[in-house]
Amino acid sequence: MVTKEYIYEFIKKQKTAFIASVDEDGFPNIKAMFIPRKMEGNCFYFSTNTSSIRTQQYMKNPKASIYFYKRGRFVYEGIMLVGTMEALQDKEIKKEIWQPGDTIYYKQGVNDPDYCVLKFTAVKGRHYCDLQSESFVLED
């Protein structure tokens, strides 16, 4: 059985996260992002633009999924988490996950109105490895 500790360690080793939202027509939309900047409990925090399509979709429908994978020479492993996504404008969390190079994307710095934090809260997931898959529920 996959543990929360295993999930965290797996995610930390990846370079890319795929986040999924639901559009106004009910179709899934997927985007590649950098891995979460903070992981705490069942929550994963991403840096993004307030004006992005994905952020706007989460504001209308918070249902979301995130996916991480490792493709080895002979082994493929993936972890999908399902839950909800919130767009946060809270100054404290924005400061907490801010990185110096972010000014490339947000010219006004941490207070840029186009800078927000996506907070994903996982409730369940699925792990795939070595031709086997397993569903799991995340406890608080």
Instruction: Say if residues 96 and 88 touch (Cβ distance below 8 Å).
Output: no
Q: Provide the residue-wise pLDDT of the chain in tens; the chain has 140 residues.
A: 888 999 999 999 999 999 999 999 999 999 999 999 999 999 999 999 999 999 999 999 999 999 999 998 778 999 999 999 999 999 999 999 999 899 999 999 999 999 999 999 999 999 999 889 999 998 87
pLDDT score of 2: 87
**What pLDDT is stored for residue 39 in this prediction?**
96
Residue 18 tokens read as 């795929």
Q: What share of the chain is helix, strand, coil (3-state, %, to 5)?
A: 25, 50, 30
CA 140 vs. chain centroid, Å, equals: 18
Q: What angle do CA 138, 92, 119 make, to 5 degrees?
A: 30
Lookup result for tokens 């706007």:
56
The alpha-helical segments, DSSP class H, found in 13-140 are: 53-60, 91-97
Question: In the prediction, which pLDDT does 112 show?
Answer: 95
pLDDT of amino acid 131: 86
**The pLDDT value given to residue 74:** 79
pLDDT score, position 139: 80
For residue 34, the model assigns a pLDDT of: 95
Residue type, 14: Q
What pLDDT score was predicted for residue 117? 98
